[in-house]
A and B are shown apart, each in its own frame.
Chain A
Amino acid sequence: MNSDIRNLDLNLLKALDALLDRVVRTVPAPTGDVDGPARAMIFDSVYDAYRGVVTYVRMVDGTLRPREQVVMMSTGSKHEALEVGVSSPEPLPSKGLGVGEVGYLITGVKDVRLSKVGDTVTNLAKPATDSLPGYADAKPMVFSGLYPLDGTDYPVLRDALEKLMLNDAALVYEPETSAALGFGFRVGFLGLLHLEITRERLEREYNLDLISTAPNVEYEVTLEDKRVVHVTNPSEYPTGKIAEVREPMVSATILAPNEFVGAIMELCQSRRGVMGGMDYLSEDRVEIRYRLPLAEIVFDFFDILKSKTRGYGSLDWKADGEQVADLVKVDIMLQGEQVDAFSAITHRDKAYAYGVMMTGKLRELIPRQQFEVPIQAAIGSRIIARESIRAIRKDVLAKCYGGDITRKRKLLEKQKEGKKRMKMVGRVEVPQEAFIAALTTDESKDKAKK
């Protein structure tokens, strides 16, 4: 190897030798069973447009050779190892991977779900009995519905999520159908940044236009019959008698100039936060610690924090158990018809505000119909807010003479086209835009306005 390197600084070369010696001394030698059944741990896999899934593995026991039949232990799927090699750093095919080696495996498989990070690969002819412990699954904290703006993009979104999941073990998703938004996925994220990055990647790398619903967290609902339901979507909220609802908590650390302490405390209190402590890091910088419900910070907390601190505030948070809270589900009804997409799980104290906000918003967004449309917000059967859209009284062009006919017909065709984009809730025509505007976060709504 040294012979390949020219014009290298002598001092660096000496240092390098010392470094490599140190690596040999410090890093423990592989301890696997050289002759035992093959066991290789998948630590990453990527999708290559020409070669299919490339699975990166570390050999723990035994060997894997090209042309052997291999088995993914968690799924039991069998493949032929078309190519086995190491990274040098370009892929370099080898005659096999032995204990302690790190390399890659190509089986020609296109379905990325078959190469799950943390899974164990073994040899079909001499299979291992126990799989490796794998990695601890990252637990998603924040959930959001992702829907293609154009329904025909659903398969593209599905494939894109699969490919992203390959090297992002924290991403979980399951198909979801919304009466309003059509087919999509409920996707779990580690946090808000993860959500934003994933969304951005989907839009940029796969050229998708997405609607993301307001993010929410996972609640653990215990019913009076002791049944426990995990709710990641308000529509899954159980209807029976509820004993208690637990919500995930976070401990948050906020750094900001001390002049904003008051504003930050006000914000955190309004988000049901409990103060943990406060330290002055310097004369004018302060660290404030709060324990907050995750649900209270996933939506717009960071934006508000930024605006209240003129951009100086920073937020760091980590999961911190859960707590029992007085949470309720607020349903929104259009002409008595419940619309799942608009339901929300919220603290009882904020249910009224949510109801008023959402009914008011919908009154603005839903066009007048040929009949009056009441919009109600309810907790169970109790109505907490009500608005109504007055019936439209006039929808006719007064003048329609010889010269107006072509223009009027074209207008009619356009209106018919528009009607196709309406979603029917009972008899109420709701434009897709209303759903999007009502469901997406305030931030993206502002973007749309600009």
Chain B
Amino acid sequence: MPSVLPLGDPAPPDGLLPAQAAEGAGQRAFGLYVHIPFCAVRCGYCDFNTYTATELGGGASQDAYAATAVSEVEFAGRVLKESGLPERPLSTVFFGGGTPTLLPAEDLARILTAAIGAWGLQPGAEVTTEANPDSVTPESLQLLADAGFTRVSFGMQSAVPHVLKVLDRTHTPSRVPEVVQWARDAGLAVSLDLIYGTPGESLEDWRYSLETALSYDPDHISAYALIVEDGTKLAAQIRRGEVPEIDDDDHAAKYELADELISAAGLAWYEVSNWSRTPGQACRHNLAYWRGDDWWGIGPGAHSHVGGVRWWNVKHPTAYANRLGAGVSPAAGRETLDTETRNVERVMLEARLNSGLDIPSLGGLGDTGRHAVAGLIADGLVDPAAAFKGRLVLTLKGRLLADAVVRRILPD
């Protein structure tokens, strides 16, 4: 979650949602995102809303955080009911951060239990937590599995020490196979997160990281190009010339290598930056974001979406805790999307998926959309076979230019 909140309309103190939010809610899945705003150290590239253990006090402190999060879960349960939304058990839960596993496993379990108490869990629901390889033990992973977690996503990032150093990651690469095994033993599905394009990373470094990650036989891999966000330590280092600049062509070459090696290992892409061993092992929580389902985001700076209403919580954990303590909605702002904007978001998000965009429905965007498809096929950005069947699915080249494709589809 980027640290800068968008500008939007003010959110009401009672958090109640407009009538639009409830329309057709029965057809949409409902998920929960829980933001854990703590990290052992602040990574140089990261602009997420996260704090080191000693930075915060009061209801925002690491010790009190679980109780604060549980109070938002209860608040959310009330708001959804009072806004006229049907009762829907959770189909997915995702704990992200920060480093969720920096909290004791008991705390994570307590928040999950409160959420299950508020809404219930669908049979076969996916419950994921992100984790740093150096903040888990066999016992903590077992405890999470027992509480209902089904999946863990490890922030491996790279297998090359000098790359990890630029990223300020503290774990030693050799720990990764160990924690993967512990997670397996606890019955958890395993995903590995990788970052490519770190300043100083060679193509061979990246190949080594990919091969190493694949040798652990994960169920799922996410590979993200490093984005240098304004205000991060890394951005300052690049500005001062201490580390080389990011090169988009290098990113493109590394993405192509990632797709080649990951596919060869038997995983298939289902979103621009995500690959899974089987379609069932795709991250369903993230798919819900891209398909416009409903979710509530718990925690400071967390974003939520229910039926075309998006809102985001205040960013600072102390302000967040104080609001909840006073029984006031922690939302800092919201936006209510009209049909046109929802259409733009749908194109923007669904174009990233291997299931693609429904081409006939592009008619709603005027002729631009449909006419653009022919040009996109000619330029090798869209798969012609899928287009023939009415789906706009990106080719490898198209995935690398996904944002440009979206701009070409959308009317001016």
A406 touches B402 (CB 8 A): no
Contacts of A392 in B (CB 8 A): 248, 401, 404
Q: How far is the CA of A405 from the CA of B252 in the complex (A)?
A: 23
Which of these binds chain B: A57-65, A119-127, A203-211, A407-415? A407-415
Chain B hits for A350, CB < 8 A? none
A77 within 8 A of B: no
Tell me whether B2 and A371 are in contact (CB under 8 A): no
- Chain B residue contacts of A410, Cβ below 8 A: 6
Q: B255-297 toward A: CB 8 Å interface, digit per residue (1/0)?
A: 1000000000000000011000000000000100110000101
User: Closest A-chain residue to B333, C-beta based?
Assistant: A406
Alpha-carbon distance A3/B256, docked complex (angstroms): 98
Per-residue CB contact flags for chain B residues 304-321 toward chain A (1 = under 8 Å, else 0) read 110000101000000000
- In the complex the two chains form, what is the Cα distance from A405 to B310 in whole Å? 9
B382 within 8 A of A: no
In chain A between 385 and 415, which residues have their CB closer than 8 angstroms to a CB of chain B?
390, 392-410, 412-413, 415
Contact A419 B407 (CB under 8 A): yes
- Provide the bound-state CA to CA distance between A413 and B406, in Å: 11
Contact, CB under 8 Å: A394 / B401: yes
Q: Bound state CA distance, A399 and B255, in angstroms?
A: 13
Assembled-state Cα–Cα distance A403/B297 (Å) = 9
Q: Name the residue of chain A whose CB is nearest to the CB of B255.
A: A394
Q: State which of B149-157, B173-181, B340-348 sits at the interface with chain A.
A: B340-348
Centre residue among A390, A402, A407, A412 by max chain B CB count within 10 A:
A402
Q: Are A402 and B289 in contact (CB under 8 A)?
A: yes
Q: Scan residues 363-412 of chain B and give those whose CB is less than 8 A from a CB of chain A.
A: 379, 381, 399-404, 406-407, 410, 412
* Contact yes or no, B273 A393, CB < 8 A: no
B400 / chain A contacts, CB cutoff of 8 Å: 393-396
A285 to chain B, nearest CB (A): 49
Mark interface residues in A362-376 (1 if CB within 8 Å of B CB, else 0): 000000001100000
Residues of A close to B272: CB separation below 8 A? 396, 398, 400
B204 on interface, CB distance cutoff 8 Å? no
Contacts of A416 in B (CB 8 A): 407, 410, 412
* Docked pose: A331 CA to B341 CA in angstroms: 44
- Is B33 located at the chain interface by the 8 A CB criterion? yes
Interface residues of A in 46-70 (CB under 8 A from B): none
The answer to whether B406 and A405 have CB atoms under 8 Å apart is no
Q: In the complex, what residue of chain B is closest to A371 when comparing beta carbons?
A: B379
A420 within 8 Å of B by Cβ? Answer: yes
Complex contact B348–A412 (CB within 8 A): yes
| CB-nearest residue of chain A to B49 | A403
A403 touches B352 (CB 8 A): no
Residue ID in chain B nearest A412 by CB atoms: B348
A398 in contact with B1 given A393-B249, A406-B303, A410-B6 (CB within 8 Å): no
Q: Count the B residues whose beta carbon is within 8 Å of the partner chain — how many?
A: 48
B203 to chain A, nearest CB (A): 14
B401: chain A residues at CB < 8 Å are 370, 392-396
Main secondary structure of the interface of B (DSSP, over half): mixed
Q: How far, in angstroms, from A140 to B297 measured CA to CA in the complex?
A: 70
The residue of chain A having its C-beta at the shortest distance from the C-beta of B379 within the complex is A370
Q: A394-B249, A410-B6 are in contact. Are A402 and B403 (CB under 8 A)?
A: no
CB distance from B20 to the nearest CB of A (A): 17
Interface set, chain A 70-104, CB cutoff 8 A to B:
none
Residues of B within 8 A of A396 (CB): 272, 399-404
CB 8 Å contact bits of B330-350 with A (1 = contact, 0 = none): 000001000001001100110
B407 touches A403 (CB 8 A): no
- B residues in contact with A419, CB < 8 Å: 407, 412
Residue of A nearest to B402 (CB): A396
Contacts of A143-173 to chain B: CB distance below 8 A = none
Report which of A398, A400, A401, A407 forms a contact with B225, defined as CB distance below 8 A: A398
| Whole-angstrom CA separation of A413 from B407 in the bound complex | 9
B29 at the interface (CB under 8 A from A): no
B301 CB-CB contact with A under 8 Å:
yes
Give the chain B neighbours of A398 by CB distance below 8 A: 224-225, 227, 272-273
Flag whether B8 is at the interface (Cβ < 8 A).
Answer: yes
Decide if B127 is an interface residue (CB 8 Å cutoff). Answer: no
**In the bound complex, do residue B348 and residue A409 qualify as a contact, i.e. CB atoms below 8 Å apart?**
yes
Q: Which of A394, A404, A406, A415 contacts B252 (CB 8 A)?
A: A394
Q: A394-B249, A409-B344 are in contact. Are A400 and B297 (CB under 8 A)?
A: no
B217 CB, nearest partner CB in chain A, Å: 24
Interface flag for B251 (CB, 8 Å): yes
| A412 x B252 contact (CB < 8 A) | no
Cα(A420)–Cα(B286), bound, Å: 33
B412 pairs with A420, CB closer than 8 A: yes
Query: Across the two chains, which residue of chain B brings its CB closest to A409?
Result: B345
How does the 8 Å CB contact mask read for B20-43 relative to A, with 1 for contact and 0 for none? 000000000000010000000000
Residues of chain B contacted by A409 (CB below 8 angstroms): 341, 344-345, 348
A interface with B by C-beta (< 8 Å): 370-371, 390, 392-410, 412-413, 415-416, 419-420
Contacts A370-B381, A396-B401, A407-B4 supplied; 14 other A-B pairs, CB < 8 Å: A370-B401, A370-B404, A393-B248, A395-B400, A396-B272, A396-B402, A402-B33, A403-B2, A405-B289, A405-B345, A406-B6, A407-B6, A416-B407, A419-B407
Identify 12 residue pairs between A and B in the complex whose beta-carbon atoms are under 8 Å apart, listed by A's number: A394-B400, A399-B224, A401-B286, A402-B33, A403-B297, A405-B289, A405-B349, A406-B312, A407-B4, A408-B348, A409-B348, A415-B407
